[in-house]
Amino acid sequence: MRTLITFLLLTLTQILLGQTVISGNVMDEKKQPIQGANVFLDGTYDGTSSDVNGNFKFLTSVKGIQVLKITFLSYEAVEHKLTIENYQEQTFVLRESVNSLDAVIINAGMLQAGDKARVSVLKPLDIVTTAGSAGDIVSALQTLPGTQMVGESGRLFVRGGESDETQTFVDGLRVAQPYGASANNVPTRGRFSPFLFSGISFSTGGFSAEYGEALSSVLLLNTIDEPVQEQTDISLMTVGLGLSTTKKWNKSSLSINTAYIDLAPYQIAIPQAVDWNRPFQSLSGEAVYRYQFEQGLLKVYTAFDASRFDLNQENLNSQVKDRVDLNNNNLYFNAVYKGFLVNNWQLIAGASYGLGQNKIDLNQDDINNEEDALHLKMKVFSKLTNRFKVSFGADYFLTQFDESYSPFQQSRLTISYNSEIGAVYSEVDYFFSKKLAFNLGIRASNNAMLEVSSVSPRASVAYKTGKFNQFSFAYGNFEQAPRQDYLKFSNQFGTEKTQHFILNFTFAKEGTTLRAEVYYKKYKDLVKYDTETPIFSSDYSNSGFGYAKGLDVFWREDSRIKNLEYWISYSFIDTQRDYRNYLQEATPSFVAKHTASVVTKYWISTLRSQLGVTYNFNSGRPYENPNTEGFLNEKTKSFSNINLGWAYLLSPQKILYFSMSNVLGTKNVFGYEYSNTANQQGMFPSRAIIPTASRFVFVGFFWTISADKKTNQLDNL
């Protein structure tokens, strides 16, 4: 018995006193010693910090298999499994964290705004504090390089592409009808109020394999995951009323945003160049519901908007004006679940449904159409290590289109089609180091209606050349089914295709961002037809082609002059295409060779006011003049305007906002329309396409009610 006790005591003492020396060295990837790294055995008190030479040494009394942990600010932690008894002095190399702020980013083609972006060109506030944007997300994006200002349309035209070459996604799901209804040459607005979105990524090319059915560009809008607080916002404007409110519960929250817009009172006050029978009127509502599960988040977004207007448009081909009476109903619904599966794998699954209904009375003809668009999406992804990410996904798009056309005193014609597109994709992201990273992707897609399949590779690489600057390059093949206007008459098409090459240089230092990009985009298999407008009897083909190349420059500076923020965008583009019913390769009428914007915001502290001034310029746009030789070779005079916005904080939660577009009253011309027939002198009479109003004045009062008594709508103006 006694021997046993003695033995036990001895062993215990040994355990208590028998200490082992753990020593070694810590250095970085360049073999420089790291001072101050925290070196310790996980789960014990035993450890120390490395000295000036990176050396460490400490005693431990624990035995057996342990984990030696080394941590140091901005470096990846090392966890080294060892057996204390067999430990030999070692050197540990710490790698700089690729998550750190100054790691390289793959950003060719990408313009980001909002919270999560590391190099963001727009801050969350800017999306809408930009003078002249009047709260329209698309208008704010038009001050960024790579876009064209097409005033008579209001849509996004990217790098020589048509507006429908940009696909819009909310939380990763397609929005089939992103714009409000409009008549010829009366600009439209995007459907989405900035109120519900926390981040915007706008790609002008070379985007990820996750997104398809877009030839030029994708616009990715993300709804807020978790609202900050309960609040109610009330807006009283010269053009209508708005009310939005957010409620929060333990695990869920709901935000609702409604607006009623009516241009009738405004029209009476300041007559416009449009001959309205009933000025534009719309009622819209949006809601986001979020539910936080243990391992995931469900977001349900829905938007409804009903609008109508009735106007008379001059027609050069007849003595009387054309009457356009339009009623548009739009419903968009989207549900997305994002959550953790097993072992670091995450899942995104969602569905979106868009319903667009138009009832158009064109003089005495009636057109009714309806588009039902469904998108199902599933994606799984994992960060296998800090440096290696993979993802797989699938998309299914279903579009049903029906139209009935009843010409005056004639029998009704009906058209319909059903388009089904399925796609799968996969992507890998790999960081070689903090300086070098690449992304490879592939997307395979099948269009059942057109009976065509294709495979599109995408690749990008980024290399950091200095502390604040980097280069990145992107390449990709993109495709898109032809637009509704053609599909409703024929299905004898292939998909339209583009190929992008983009080289990007980014310099980003605190308060200063410079981004310069050169690109080359090749178009092929564009749809051509041989009639005035696409009709049943047109002869269609995929024989169109074209190219676009250019330079986009963006400069932003926030810190040099106190309270002043500004950015300057410049785009140069050289593009020609032979598509639609073009007689030859030519620059389309929506393209201006030079486009520039200067956006400034100045905070006047003593007046508690933010003053915003935006200057837009573009060189002349081509138009076709049948009175002269050649095709699309006349040019309009250049376009310019100055917009002003002034937000005054009456109190922390009450804002008075005033804005005026085209302050100088510059007479701008977007293009010219010509009559189909020559007059007696053999000339085709023409008419200039001009802005609907030379100036637009807007006054609003915005009131926020919230518990913190601080938040206001300044960022939504």
Q: Are strands 147-148 and 47-49 parallel, antiparallel or unpaired?
A: unpaired
Residue with tokens 């739009």: 330
Of 567, 520, 528, the residue nearest 548 (C-alpha): 520
Phi, then psi, of 140 in degrees rounded to 5:
-65, -40
Quick one: tokens of 558? 């926030």
Whole-number Å distance between alpha carbons of 558 and 366: 53
Give, for 370, the enclosing helix (H) or strand (E): strand 365-385
Q: How near is the Cβ of 211 to another protein at its closest, in Å? A: 27
Quick one: tokens of 10? 């001895």
Residue with tokens 């999406």: 377
Q: How near is the Cβ of 642 to another protein at its closest, in Å? A: 24
Q: How near is the Cβ of 224 to another protein at its closest, in Å? A: 11
Give the number of other CB atoms < 10 A from CB of residue 98.
Answer: 18
Whole-number Å distance between alpha carbons of 14 and 209: 62
Q: How near is the Cβ of 600 to another protein at its closest, in Å? A: 14
b/e code 624-640 from CB counts within 10 Å (16+ = b): bbeeeeeebebbbeebe
545 touches 523 (CB < 8 A): yes
Q: How near is the Cβ of 439 to another protein at its closest, in Å? A: 24
Q: How near is the Cβ of 469 to another protein at its closest, in Å? A: 16
DSSP summary character for residue 481: P
Cβ distance to another protein smaller for residue 492 or 559: 559
Q: How near is the Cβ of 129 to another protein at its closest, in Å? A: 11
SS3 143: coil
DSSP summary character for residue 636: P
Cβ distance to another protein smaller for residue 43 or 457: 43
37 touches 72 (CB < 8 A): yes
Q: How near is the Cβ of 434 to another protein at its closest, in Å? A: 13
Whole-number Å distance between alpha carbons of 406 and 2: 110
573, exposed or middle or buried, with CB in 10 Å at 0-12, 13-18, 19+? buried
Cβ distance to another protein smaller for residue 199 or 279: 199
Cβ distance to another protein smaller for residue 7 or 392: 7
SS3 76: coil
Q: How near is the Cβ of 238 to another protein at its closest, in Å? A: 25
Quick one: tokens of 240? 């209508």
Cβ distance to another protein smaller for residue 228 or 583: 228
CA dist 458 → 9, 189, 474, 498 (Å): 69, 32, 8, 12
Of 97, 131, 2, the residue nearest 646 (C-alpha): 131
Q: How near is the Cβ of 68 to another protein at its closest, in Å? A: 11
Of 571, 441, 521, 716, the residue nearest 111 (C-alpha): 571
Whole-number Å distance between alpha carbons of 109 and 504: 7
Q: How near is the Cβ of 550 to another protein at its closest, in Å? A: 31
Cβ distance to another protein smaller for residue 253 or 641: 253
Cβ distance to another protein smaller for residue 428 or 714: 714
Q: In the 3-class helix/strand/coil scheme, how is 371-396 assigned residue by residue?
A: EEEEEEEEEEEEEEECCEEEEEEEEE
Quick one: tokens of 205? 């090319």
Cβ distance to another protein smaller for residue 4 or 268: 4
Quick one: tokens of 184? 């010829």
Residue with tokens 């960081």: 431
Q: How many helices (H) and strands (E) does the chain have?
A: 5, 40
349 touches 335 (CB < 8 A): no
DSSP summary character for residue 288: E
Q: How near is the Cβ of 563 to another protein at its closest, in Å? A: 9
Q: How near is the Cβ of 21 to another protein at its closest, in Å? A: 17
**Beta carbons within 8 Å of 14's beta carbon, 6+ residues apart:** none
Of 506, 553, 594, 599, the residue nearest 143 (C-alpha): 599
Cβ distance to another protein smaller for residue 47 or 285: 47
359 touches 326 (CB < 8 A): yes
Quick one: tokens of 280? 């534009």
Cβ distance to another protein smaller for residue 374 or 717: 717
Q: How near is the Cβ of 16 to another protein at its closest, in Å? A: 8
SS3 416: strand
Q: Which residues bind another protein (CB under 8 A)?
A: 1, 4-5, 8-9, 12, 16, 36, 38, 40-47, 49, 69, 71, 73-74, 100-102, 115, 123-125, 228-229, 231, 510, 558, 565, 603, 608, 649, 651-652, 706-711, 714-715
Q: How near is the Cβ of 73 to another protein at its closest, in Å? A: 5
Cβ distance to another protein smaller for residue 6 or 453: 6
Cβ distance to another protein smaller for residue 44 or 317: 44
Cβ distance to another protein smaller for residue 16 or 273: 16
SS3 433: coil
Q: How near is the Cβ of 101 to another protein at its closest, in Å? A: 5
Cβ distance to another protein smaller for residue 530 or 708: 708
Cβ distance to another protein smaller for residue 228 or 236: 228
Cβ distance to another protein smaller for residue 342 or 707: 707
Q: How near is the Cβ of 40 to another protein at its closest, in Å? A: 4
Of 306, 248, 315, the residue nearest 280 (C-alpha): 306
Cβ distance to another protein smaller for residue 1 or 342: 1
Q: How many CA atoms lie less than 13 Å away from 690 in the CB half-sphere?
A: 15
